[in-house]
Amino acid sequence: MNKPTDFDTELARIDKELAGLDANVLAAPLSIERAMRYVYLLYQRASLTGRLDELTTAETVIDRLIAEVRNPSDLYFLKANIDFKFHRLSDVRRDLESDRELHDSPQGRALLADLDFQEGRYAEARAGYESVIRDERTWDALARLAHFESKMGDLDAAERLYTEAADELTAKQMRHYAWLELQRGLLDLTHGRREEARSHYRRAERAYSGYWMVEEHMAELLAAEGKYDDAVALYQKVIARLPRPEFKQGLGELYEYIGETEKAQAFYESALTDYLASAQRGEVHYYHHLVDFYADVRRDGAEAVHWALKDLELRDNYATRAALAWALYRADRIAEALAEINRALSAGAQDAHLFLRAGRIHRAAGLEADADRYAQMAAALNPRHQSFHVHR
């Protein structure tokens, strides 16, 4: 019998503890400790499995407890994290403002800095991360600043911060360590350093075996390396465990990349159905995937612009501006695309994909010199920027 993976072991531990909390854990009279443990476990399980429906279930319980508990600041913090995952950014702020101590806590301030980043206030985001790190040099605060630096092009700083974050983690936090290794691998991959990316992804797998997130990243790398059969097999495995639409889109794009358009279409259809069903439920977290899907899969500029504008309403940052620019480009609204991509570029982000699109838009606008310059910048950042990659 195979040894259970780290993922299986952690999931079993959570499930065992959940089972130990009887079905009436939320019934009156409420035991606050047991109820809090219950909700933490639900949140932990959802985070572990990546299943958004479980996150929604956890949220339902959180909302109920918030109404019953006298000091719900930890619940609001959990809620803020869920709202963040679902891109409900105004709700995140409202959650954090429900309690002054939560708002001012290192955890609350880190999340506020994330909000600043998502809402395009980059100087404030950096200041926020740095302030938290001054108070508490925790791994997640260091990783947040590393992510920021990687986006803004200071790769040395990003690598240094990721290294320091990793050094803060202990053998009791191997899943977090695996996640950090994925970030470091992704940083390498987006700069064309496949071997280094592979090395990080392998470390992630050794650190925390059986994690779907590692497999999904590895599938992208395999595809980028041209190991298409392996990549397809791994994507299929991930989708069988966790049929999220973005993974289906990824596999669809891979099939299309290798010329298997019929198979690609099936996964595209399934992904789109899921995206639209989510949007119809009032969810907003797949808007940016819909932009990419309509722009690059369907080449439907008008529909891409529709979703890009909706996403921009929620999050005005360089990435959503660039997505809108690309949607406008697909809709042949080149002048508007040019204006938007220039706004995106003005944020100072250093991203090969951004520069590649900037080059295409500038070329379409007849600005050949600028187009060449952006194409060169993209190639300089990632000599392999034309190879297979997925939308994250």
Partner 1 sequence: MADHNDPNAVNSIFSDIDVSAADLYDLFGFPSSDTDGGEKVVIALTFASVPETGVFDTDMLYRILISPDPRVAREQDEEHSLKSLLRYFDAVKEKYLGPSKAAEIRVTVDESQRATVKFIDFPGGSFQTVVDTNKVLNIDTPDGHTIKAYLGGRDDAFFNDLTGFFRSINYAPQFYYVPQTMTSARELKIPKTLLELEGNDLFNFDPADPDWGYLHVNGKPNGSKRELPPGPYTWTGDRFRKDENGNYRFVYSGYDCQQGKNINGIILEIPLAFITRSPARDRIVNTWGESWVLKAADKIETIPDHPFWLENPLAVVGALKLDDELKRYKLVDTDGQPFADAGLSEREDSRQLGANNFWLAPTFVKRLAHLGWGFAPSITALGLQSSFDHDNSPVSVHKTYATAVAAFPRAKRTLFQELNMPDDSWNPKGLNIPLRRSFEIFIPNVCAIDMDTTGTWPYGRRPEDQVATRFLSLFLDMSAEFNGRKYHIDLLNDMSLWAAAPIEPKTPPNPLKNDKEFLSHFPYLADPWVSG
8 closest CA partner among 139, 138, 175: 175
Residue number, 322 or 338, with CB nearest to partner 1: 322
Both tokens assigned to 376: 């060169």
Q: Which residue among 168, 225, 300, 336 contacts partner 1 (CB under 8 A)?
A: 168
> Residue 78 CB, nearest distance to partner 1 (Å)?
6
Distance from C-alpha of 357 to C-alpha of 346, rounded to nearest angstrom: 14
Contact between 171 and partner 1 by CB under 8 A: the answer reads: yes
Footprint on residues 148-167 left by partner 1 (CB under 8 A)? 151, 166-167
C-alpha distances out from residue 108 to 10, 141, 168, Å: 27, 11, 20
Is 117 or 267 the residue whose CB approaches partner 1 more closely?
117
Would you mind telling me the total number of residues written for the chain in this entry?
392
Containing H/E element for 4?
Answer: none
Based on CB atoms, which residue is closest to partner 1, 138 or 236? 138
Say how far apart CA 303 and CA 291 lie, in whole Å: 8
x/- mask, partner 1, residues 180-219, rule CB under 8 A, reads ---x--x---x------------x--xx------------
83 binds partner 1 (CB under 8 A): no
Site map 267..306 versus partner 1, x via CB under 8 A: ---------------------x---x--------------
Binding-site member from 108, 185, 245, 301 for partner 1 (CB under 8 A): 108
The candidate with the shortest Cα–Cα distance to 118, out of 140, 98, 148, is 148
CB half-sphere exposure, 168, CA atoms < 13 A: 17
- For residue 294, give the amino acid letter: Y
Residue 259 CB, nearest distance to partner 1 (Å)? 25
99 in contact with partner 1 (CB under 8 A) = yes
CA distances from 315 to 116, 286, 311, 346 (A): 10, 13, 6, 16
Nearest approach in angstroms of CB 104 to partner 1 is: 9
Residues 6+ apart with CB under 8 A from 151: 349, 350, 351
User: Which range in 172-180, 225-233, 237-245, 255-263 contacts partner 1 by CB under 8 A?
Assistant: 172-180
Tokens linked to 246:
């973005």
CB of 84 to partner 1, least distance (A): 6
Rounded-to-integer distance, Cα 358 and Cα 354, Å: 6
Which residues fall within 8 angstroms of residue 284, CB to CB, at 6 or more apart? 86, 87, 88, 310, 311, 314
Q: Toward partner 1, which CB reaches closer, 150 or 254?
A: 150
Sole binder of partner 1 in the list 46, 52, 61, 78 (CB under 8 A): 78
**Cβ-contact 102, 77 below 8 angstroms:** yes
Answer yes or no whether residue 382 interacts with partner 1 by CB under 8 A: no
Is 69 an interacting residue with respect to partner 1 (CB under 8 A)?
yes
Shortest CB 13 distance to partner 1, Å: 10
Amino acid at 331: A
Among 317, 374, 378, 382, binds partner 1 (CB under 8 A): 317
Distance of CA 35 to CAs 10, 26, 44, 205, Å? 20, 6, 14, 33
**Start-to-end C-alpha separation, the chain:** 36
Q: Which of 221, 322, 337, 356 binds partner 1 (CB under 8 A)?
A: 322
Give the interface with partner 1 as residue ranges (CB under 8 A). Answer: 31-33, 36, 40-41, 43-44, 47, 69-74, 77-78, 81, 84-85, 87, 99, 101-102, 105, 107-108, 111, 114, 118, 140, 143-144, 147, 151, 166-177, 179, 183, 186, 190, 203, 206-207, 288, 292, 315, 317, 319-320, 322-323, 351, 353-354, 391-392
